[in-house]
Structure 1
Amino acid sequence: MKVLYDHQSFTGMTYGGVSRYFFDLMRSFANRQDIEFELSLRLSNNEYLDQASFSRHIRYRSLSQVRNVNRVASVLNRIHSLRRIRAGAFDVFHPTYYHRYFLNALGSKPFVLTFHDAASERFGDIYPELGEGLYEIKKKLIERADVIISVSEFSKQEILHYFPVDPAKVSVVHLGTAFGTEQVNGTSLQASEPFPYVLYVGKRGFYKNFNGFFRAIQPVLHRHPDLHVICAGGGTFNSDEQAMFHNARLDKRVHYRPVTDAGLMSLYRHARAFVFPSLNEGFGIPVLEAFSGNCPVILSNRSSLPEVGADAAVYFDPEDDTAIADAVERVITDEALREDLIRKGTERLKNFSCDKTAQQTLDIYRTLC
């Protein structure tokens, strides 16, 4: 059996949860003899693919900052993907995002759609930037897909809530992570920060609720003058964020760090706690990353996060400032609780792996052949 993956999540995206999901899936399949796959990709600067033997794409880092270069790369990648789809040398097609460019070329070939979250449906009226018009595209793809993979039970219920679809068509396959399992330079994992800190990872805008989190923990930071906040990834601070830190008299204690996998692992391992205040997550890969890094986890009690974290986290209402502050203070000051969370996180992580995700996905592919 042969599976064809397309270019979408690897075009113009250096990092990102969706591209990481598909990379981990293909990396697991690359070590197996019972499945073949092809990634139809010509141009990419995706960091996960940098050392991948299964992709022979061309990198264009020196040109990536030139205006419209990524747009041109996307067009060329789409043309290449359409050629591979029309050639028909595959049994199952698995697009890596929600564009419907391939529908007319696919014919009767089966295809699997992975549904990550319903953020654009749930928050589209508040934040149109999340994907204006994406609902109709998703609806069309869901109608045509032979199987829909949902990354959590929560996301499955979101699909059933927002889209007209037979529940039997939706299969839940939890994500895994290989984060922390590869050999990394031991020196890079030594503490690089001279102060204690709580860690925030990823994008900060929209429903991610970073501003609400920062507002809530200001009293904690003022009570603990040695405590800092590190934001890993998600882009440098914008002018509004900088003003927010300054007005709180905390601009010297909130820091941005760009990340590699090794650098992020070091940040998890030495943090007092990882805090995830999001209002909506389809799954929440950073939770598994924190478990991998032996980092105590503090989570919003919304969406998929309790499904992933189970009893290995302390939870709070993400719209209750007092609840956020109490949860953070409790974890950073209680060493016995921190050790218990680390132990439970290690146990919880055993329920998730990239190979398990790959096997369950392969089982779905086989039902279509």
Structure 2
Amino acid sequence: MIKILFDPQTFNDQKFGGISRYYTELFTQFKAVKEVQIDCPLFYTDNIHYQESCFFEDSFQNKQQFLIRFSKIIRPYLPRKLKKRNTEKTIELLKEQQFDLFIPTYYDPYFIAHLKDKPFVLTVHDMIHELFPHYFGNDLTTVPNKKLLIEKATKIIAVSENTKKDILSYYPQTDPSKIEVVYLAHSIKPESSTATELPKKYVLFVGNRSLYKNFDFFLKAMAPALKLHPDTHLLCAGGNAFTAAELQLIASLDIEAQVVQQNFRDEELSAYYKQALFFVFPSEYEGFGIPVLESMACGCPVILANHSSFPEVAGDAGVYFELNNHDDLTTKINMLLNEPEQRTAYRLKGMAQLKKFSWKKTAAESLAVYKKVLFPKKH
């Protein structure tokens, strides 16, 4: 029996997102593996992925949900106190040493002082903070903490070959054999989409629009295509309402009537992909890019930049543009708008590419890395 202790930090900090989704999916897959026993101390979390998982039913939080809900009104400090207890319990378990392997779920190195001789495996999802420091001027801890853990980790899992390359570029003293690449997967359920009011014809953008997501660049490339196709909309799903600066840019491009923003519930997202003409992912950088797989799973063609991890994830199923080249992106958008047979061809390519990725495969390959750490002589 392999006993794995996961720390709760990403579930303390993240209400939803790719990292907490990744660990929740690992937990679910490992639950079916008889040789693996996992523990992640969670007395309380706001994380919706964990709350929707098979682990939540037997959790302290679920069993005490009425007390917790009541306390939010009378004593709002209780959730904060329970989150603190998550970390305190983890430290207690670290000190007891009744586990084989430790997995930090983000970059806080608090556990180092209590780990003793036990090994740990660090997953690095991207190198965004190192590549784009100008976007994270107020964050003074992530980079030095990550650097420390990269140095001390027994093994490192990188979520793409490109992420591995970036780790070695910024930390060249790292032994390349210490880093194993394990791809992620998607969790979207195309068949479970719920009815929602959407434009008749639209191009889709999903999620956060700030910083390296490159939304302003995308708007400028999209505007000429919208003017050539007055019956088509740009639908921005999620990311909350447009900012004043975004509204000003949309007005200056004279496309207000064709640009729409709508927030969505998780169960609605597949409908947004399924009914879209295609999805554009103009991000400057992604460690992996789960939305690419989500789009393909829903039969939605994808336009994305030919850089970072995207070619690994999309393969020949992606319609690629040159990063930060407005004209090239506009050309690719017009191509898919004008040629329905191309949309069909890329939709079929996407379904084929998708077969390379699953959470079962991610968990199996992650477990293989863990075993290399625990049983080096066998590997």
SS in 1 for 2:39: strand
- RMSD after superposition: 2.2
- Residues 9 and 206 (structure 1), Cα distance of their counterparts in 2 relative to 1, 3 Å cut: same
The CA distance in 1 between the partners of 2:338 and 2:160, in whole Å, is 32
- Cα shift readout 1:15-51 (whole Å, capped 9, x = no counterpart): 1011111111111112222211112222211111123
For residue 214 of structure 1, the aligned residue among 212, 219, 241 is: 219
- Which runs of 5 or more structure 1 residues have no equivalent in the other structure? none
The aligned residue for residue 27 of structure 1 is 28
Name the CA distance, whole Å, in 1 between partners of 2:137 and 2:209.
14
The alpha-carbon distance between structure 1 residues 130 and 273, as it changes in their structure 2 partners (threshold 3 A), is farther
Deviation of 1:84 after TM superposition, in Å, equals 2.5
Q: CA offsets, 1:184-236, max 9 Å, x none?
A: 2x6x1x56313211111122111110111011111111111121112222333
The answer for the alignment partner of 1:144 in structure 2 is 152
Provide the C-alpha distance between the structure 2 equivalents of 1:327 and 1:191, rounded to a whole number of angstroms: 28
**One-letter code aligned to 2:304:** L
Instruction: Work out the CA distance in 2 between the residues paired with 1:157 and 1:67.
Output: 45
Shift in alpha-carbon separation, 1:195–1:73, aligned structure 2, 3 A: farther
CA distance in 1, matches of 2:32, 2:261: 36
- The 5 A counterparts of 1:80-229 are 80-124=89-133, 126-129=134-137, 131-163=139-171, 164-180=173-189, 184=192, 188=194, 190=195, 192-229=197-234
Aligned length: 363
Q: Work out whether residues 111 and 146 of structure 1, in 8 Å CA contact, stay in contact via their aligned partners in 2.
A: yes
The 5-angstrom pairing of residues 252-267 of structure 1 reads 252-267=257-272
Amino acid at match of 2:254: R
The 8 Å contact of residues 198 and 229 in structure 1, kept in 2 or not, is answered as yes
1:143 Cα shift?
1.2
Q: Which residue in 2 is equivalent to 1:356?
A: 361
User: TM-score, normalising length from structure 1?
Assistant: 0.92
Distance 2:205 2:105 in 1: 27
Specify the code of the residue in structure 2 equivalent to 1:253. Q
| Residue number in structure 1 paired with 2:336 | 331
Name the SS for the 1:275 alignment partner. strand
The separation in 2 between residues aligned to 1:116 and 1:273, in whole angstroms, is: 26
What's the offset of the Cα at 1:86?
2.0
Task: Give 2:377's aligned residue.
Answer: none
User: Are 1:203 and 1:234, in contact at CA under 8 Å, matched by a contact in 2?
Assistant: yes
Identical-residue share of aligned pairs (%): 36
SS at match of 2:317: coil
**1:84–1:349 distance in 2 versus 1, CA, 3 Å:** same
Q: Distance in 1 between matches of 2:157 and 2:50?
A: 23
Q: Which has the higher helix share?
A: 2
- Give the conservation status (yes or no) of the 8 Å contact 2:42–2:83: no
Distance 1:14 1:247, change over 3 A: same
Deviates more, 1:145-154 or 1:70-79: 70-79
- Name the TM-score, length of structure 2 as normaliser: 0.90
Distance 1:83 1:265, change over 3 A: same
* More off after superposition, 85-94 vs 330-339: 85-94
Aligned match of 2:240: 235
Q: How far apart are 1:129 and its partner, in Å?
A: 4.1
Paired residues of 2:305 and 2:322 also in contact (CA < 8 A): yes
Task: Say if 1:41 and 1:81, in contact at 8 Å, map to a contact too.
Answer: no
1:100-144 alpha-carbon deviations (Å, 9 max, x no partner):
1111011111101000111100111x2134843422111110111
Q: CA deviation at 1:73?
A: 5.7
Aligned ranges 1:52-63 → 2 under 5 Å: 52-55=53-56, 56=59, 58=61, 63=72
Question: How many angstroms does 1:74 deviate by?
Answer: 4.6
Is 1:41 the equivalent of 2:50?
Answer: no
Say which of 286, 293, 299 aligns to 2:304. 299
Distance in 2 separating the partners of 1:142 and 1:105: 17
The structure 1 segments of at least 4 consecutive aligned residues displaced by more than 4 Å after TM superposition are 59-64, 66-74
Instruction: Find the aligned partners of 2:147 and 2:180 in 1 and give their Cα distance.
Output: 17
Partners in 1 of 2:167 and 2:211 — Cα distance? 21
